[in-house]
Amino acid sequence: DSGVTQTPKHLITATGQRVTLRCSPRSGDLSVYWYQQSLDQGLQFLIQYYNGEERAKGNILERFSAQQFPDLHSELNLSSLELGDSALYFCASSPQQDYEQYFGPGTRLTVT
């Protein structure tokens, strides 16, 4: 158990809908990262927050957004969902920006 929690574990929704994925980092970790893992694209870095501020953006679509709250938990919002958004979404946290990341168990999103 990494200490990073993600909810929900599974999510099934229809195209065009909007969902919110939640992540609680390890106690004391200031940095949160979001990744998308799909069979055809591998593990893609989406976005990083550090102590509430956005620090890096990867291959994140405009339909996706995220934020990190004062209590350091983070939410990833996915809107106007498409079939191709079906994937595993991982959150990871680290104490500082150059440290190793600890991954949560992931949220499996299925868009039908």
Site of interaction with another protein (CB under 8 A): 2, 4, 33, 35, 42-45, 48, 50, 55-58, 90, 92, 97-98, 100-106
What would the two tokens of residue 41 be? Answer: 């694209």
Q: How far apart are CA 39 and CA 2, in angstroms?
A: 24
Smallest distance from the beta carbon of 78 to another protein, in angstroms? 19
CB of 102 to another protein, least distance (A): 7
What one-character-per-residue DSSP string does 64-77 give? EEEEE-TTS-EEEE
The minimum distance between CB 90 and another protein, in angstroms, equals: 6
Which residue's CB is nearer to another protein, number 42 or number 70? 42
Count other Cβ atoms within 10 Å, centred on residue 28. 9
